[in-house]
Structure 1
């Protein structure tokens, strides 16, 4: 999965959860998916529409029969759902789910499998602001998903960030570095 799609995908809080649920076999019916998440109806509907716009989900043309799901995964959605499921399995509790629903968590972890400077992360995540990146890095560091080191080999010391522990497991689940 490329970083641009990952940024778009994670811009809605429940997108990863919806894809992971569909990958695990939960029916593509809106009621079943909503019941399997703790999302509000509004946030859930926005995430579902977002996935349709990204062409990861499509409305089932055969819907109308009580046993047919309303939504189904597209071929690109099947691959994204596999990755989403791997990410969700790495972080199974409510605290980590809450952090995963934040827009920039997964894209930042996807990039920091190796040490990266702040400016390198910002340039790879074109639409992120300095403030959002700084806040996200602090939250990830507080949860021990990112480690901040000071690189002193050059003339001027500078911090580098790399995914560790659960953060590195999420990096591997995304598979951008492969």
Structure 2
């Protein structure tokens, strides 16, 4: 999967949980998916519309009730759902909401190897300095990312690396995502 597609998927808070539940075989109608994810109706609806527009999920044409639509994964959605399921299976004590933030997963993916701030930014072309900084600080406070200073460099530069839960997630996503 391309990094831009991954960034687009993770831009909606409930997109990965929905894909994960579809991959697990939860009934693909709205009510069971809504209950399984725990999302609000509005957030769920927006995330589902986003996934449909991206071509990862489609309405089941063989299921004709307009008020209770049934959804299914497309070919591209099957691959994305497999990654989402792996991510959602990681035991996260109290940081589940951190996974629903827009830039958490793409930043962790780019931290497959220790990186400087600008290296991360180059990997994630559409991220702003502020968004990257906030994301790194949020993950650092949860001890998913460790920041150290390279004193040998002139001027000294920060090096970020994924640790603990962040490292587990990074090891899951990094082999699946292409940075090009």
TM range (shorter): over 0.9
1:45 aligns to what? 45
2:127 aligns to what? 128
Contact 1:145/1:165 (<8 A) preserved: yes
Q: Shift of the alpha carbon at 1:45?
A: 0.3
Aligned residues: 175
Give me the TM-score of the superposition, normalised by structure 1.
0.92
1:4 equivalent to 2:4? Answer: yes
The answer to which of 166-175 and 11-20 deviates more is 166-175
1:82 aligns to what? 82
Q: What's the Cα RMSD here?
A: 1.7
Q: Shift of the alpha carbon at 1:177?
A: 6.6
User: What is the alpha-carbon distance in structure 2 between the residues aligned to residue 100 and residue 3 of structure 1?
Assistant: 16
CA distance 1:29–1:92, change in 2 (3 Å): farther
Deviation by residue 1:128-160 (Cα, 9 ceiling, x = unmatched)? 111111111001001111111111232321001
Q: Within 5 A, what are the aligned runs for 1:82-121? A: 82-93=82-93, 95-121=94-120
User: What is the alpha-carbon distance in structure 1 between the residues aligned to residue 3 and residue 177 of structure 2?
Assistant: 10
2:89 partner SS: helix
Contact 1:110/1:176 (<8 A) preserved: no
Structure 2: unaligned runs, 5 residues or longer? none
User: What is the alpha-carbon distance in structure 2 between the residues aligned to residue 106 and residue 96 of structure 1?
Assistant: 12
User: What is the alpha-carbon distance in structure 1 between the residues aligned to residue 46 and residue 69 of structure 2?
Assistant: 18
Structure 1: unaligned runs, 5 residues or longer? none
Give me the TM-score of the superposition, normalised by structure 2.
0.91
